Amino acid sequence: MEMPTDQSVLVTGGAGFIGSHLVDALVADNDVVVLDNLSSGRREWVDDRATLIAADLHNAQAVDQAVDGVDYIFHEAANVSVEHSVDAPVESHETNVDATLRLLEHARNEDARFIYASSAAVYGTPESIPIDESDPKQPTSPYGLEKHSADEYCRLYHEIYGVETIALRYFNVYGPRQRGGQYSGVIDIFLDQARREEDLTIHGDGKQTRDFVHVDDVVTANCLAATHGVPGEAYNIGTGSSITIKDLAQLVVDTFETNSSVTHIDARDGDIEQSCPSIRKAQRELGFEPTQSLNSKLEALW
């Protein structure tokens, strides 16, 4: 794969789950700066070769320092919690939208390419499956609306100012260093229950579907977006096939031959039933091909 080399790169949220894996991929051949307030990220996940600025996105001086002379901004930092966005929508908006807008201004001033960590949450409850990038956006939480707004700002910054922006709409990302969360937390929970030989608990009937995409594939998508893709566009990033939560639970039980059984508890309010993207646009325009299978990667996580 073609990777950015000899470039000056900023990864916001580079101490977090996805951001730290991206830094790992970029740091050998590029000059990498990480801006992260360490609210959920960890200092020890940041490769020593990267320069860590441990500061908040709202700290103008730190951001000025971080963006100085950069060729690429990979914007991963965010309030990632739907719950927090419901409890504190103004604060969440300030982090997820206002701070992104200010970073886009920096990208404009620095003539940097801006690769944004958008989300499947922009679609809300899909009207049809598989979800296409042009499908209706009906976010069901402040978080989803914030991701949608920032994703739209990316499009507009290209349209109005010519900034090279790419929005990557991640589906359910999983892998090492992931700790719970609404996206793929269920994998952690099932593995943990299976390890303890406890019952695997499913909310509702378990017929909900999700597309779990491994973090290595998401890193690849980001690297591809540095050199490929159409500026101003958004791309679904998943595997293009989904699994029911019931089948995921069974897969965990069968793979690890635990004595756990699968039980059902109350459905969660607002849980989206079906989620599966079409990734044809990313395949066509980014050259993106997911390579990691859930079966083999579950074993690695175990």
Give catalytic residue positions: 143
- The DSSP string of 9-38 is EEEETTTSHHHHHHHHHHTTTSEEEEE---
Tell me: does residue 238 bind ligand NAD (CB under 6 A). Answer: no
- Which letter does DSSP use for residue 127 in this model? S
Length of the chain: 302
Q: x/- string (CB under 6 A) for ligand NAD, residues 6-35?
A: -------x-xxxxx----------------
Structure token digits, residue 213: 């995409």
Question: Looking at beta carbons only, is 66 or 253 nearer to ligand NAD?
Answer: 66
CA angle 288, 215, 54 (to 5 degrees): 120
Region binding ligand NAD by CB under 6 A among candidate stretches 24-32, 74-82, 155-163, 243-251? 74-82
Give backbone dihedrals phi and psi of 27, rounded to 5 degrees, phi first: -70, -25
Contact call for residue 122 and ligand NAD (CB under 6 A): no
Rounded Cα gap, residues 247 and 118, in angstroms: 27
Span from 66-74, 131-139, 169-177, 240-248 in contact with ligand NAD (CB under 6 A): 169-177
How far is residue 56's CA from residue 50's CA, in Å, rounded to a whole number? Answer: 17
Nearest to 221 by CA among 34, 30, 25, 36: 25
Distance, in Å, from the CA atom of 62 to the CA atom of 53, rounded to the nearest integer, reads 7
Q: Which is nearer to ligand NAD, 79 or 242 (CB)?
A: 79
Q: Residue from 3, 38, 129, 272 that binds ligand NAD (CB under 6 A)?
A: 38
Q: Which of 114, 153, 157, 183 binds ligand NAD (CB under 6 A)?
A: 183
When binding is defined by CB under 6 A, the residue of 184, 220, 236, 292 that contacts ligand NAD is 184
184 backbone dihedrals φ, ψ, rounded to 5°: -130, 20
Q: Whose structure tokens read 């159409």? A: 230
Return the residue of 46, 70, 76, 281 that touches ligand NAD, per CB under 6 A.
76
Position 166, amino acid:
I
Residues 261-300: x where in contact with ligand NAD by CB under 6 A, - otherwise, as a string: ----------------------------------------
Establish if 78 lies at the interface with ligand NAD (CB under 6 A): yes
In the complex, the smallest distance separating the C-beta of residue 195 from ligand NAD, rounded to whole angstroms, is: 22
Please report, as ranges, the residues that interact with ligand NAD according to CB under 6 A: 13, 15-19, 36-41, 56-57, 76-80, 95, 117, 119, 170, 172-173, 183-184
